[in-house]
Amino acid sequence: MAKRGNSIIKGIEIDEVIKLLNRAYADEWLAYYQYYIEEKVVTGIMSKSAVTELAEHAADELRHADMVANRIMQLGGTPLLNPKDWFTHTNCGYEEPKNFDVLAILDDAIKGEQCAISTYSNIAEITRDKDIVTYDIVSQILADEVEHEEDLQALYDDINDFVDQVKSTIKG
Ligand SMILES: [Fe+2]
Ligand SMILES: [Fe+2]
C-alpha cells in the first residue's frame, strides 16, 4: 500500500474506490474471455477481419484488468480472488455468444463496450479532483473503450454494407 500516495486522496473513502475498481476488474476479465471465445467461434462474411479486431480487444481487456488490479493493490485492497466473484461484482455481465455469425458477435461486443464506457465515465466522475491517480488510470482505459466501440461499429457497418451490396447484386 502506498501510504503517502494514498494520503493525497481527499473527499472519497478509499474503500469506496476499491469497491468500484473491483467491479471494473470483474468486467475486464469477463470482457477478456468474451473476446477470447468470440474470436474462436466467429463465422461468416469477412469474419477474418473480425478475428483480428476481437483478438486485439481481448489483449486490451487483459491489460486493463492488470492496470486495475495494480491500482487496487496500491490502495491497499485485494483484487477479487475467485472467478466466481466476477459474476457477483460485474457491472456489464457476460454475454454468452449464442449466434456465431459475425454481425451478431459484433453487436454483442458493441453493447459490452457501451457498458464499459458508462462504467469508466462513472468512476472518472466520482474520482475527479479526489483521487487523481485512479482518475488518470480510468481515463486511459475509458479512451481505449471509446476506441473499441468505434472500431467495432466501423467493422459492423462495413460488413453490413457489403452484405447489402451482395443482396442487391443477386436481386438485380
Ligand atoms: Fe477494458
Ligand atoms: Fe473494450
Domain assignment present for 18: yes
Total number of domains constituting the chain: 1
Give the domain CATH number at 146: 1.20.1260.10
The predicted pLDDT at position 3 comes to 85
Task: Name the residue type at position 26.
Answer: A
In a domain, 68, yes or no: yes
Backbone angles phi, psi at 101, to 5 degrees: -60, 140
In eight-state DSSP terms, residue 94 is -
Distance 58 CA to ligand 2 centre (A): 8
Full residue range of the structural domain in which residue 49 is found: 12-171
Query: Domain for residue 3, yes or no?
Result: no
Cell readout for 31 is 470482457
Taking the centre of ligand 2 as the mean of its atom positions, its distance from the CA of residue 16, in whole angstroms, is: 23
Inter-CA distances, 111 with 30, 99, 104, 120, 160, Å: 14, 15, 11, 14, 17
Q: At what angle do helices 47-74 and 102-127 cross, to 10 degrees?
A: 20
Asked, for residue 116, whether it belongs to a domain, the answer is yes
Residue 17 lies in a domain: yes
- φ, ψ of residue 43 to 5 degrees: the values are -135, 175
pLDDT along the chain (172 residues), means of 10: 88 96 98 98 93 97 98 98 98 96 97 98 97 98 98 96 91 80
Which uninterrupted H or E stretch holds 100? none
Q: What pLDDT does residue 33 have? A: 98
Q: Is residue 41 part of a domain?
A: yes
Q: According to the model, what pLDDT value does residue 171 have?
A: 85
Q: How far is the CA of 131 from the centre of ligand 2 (A)?
A: 23
* Residue 1 located in a structural domain: no
- Residue 2: the pLDDT is 81
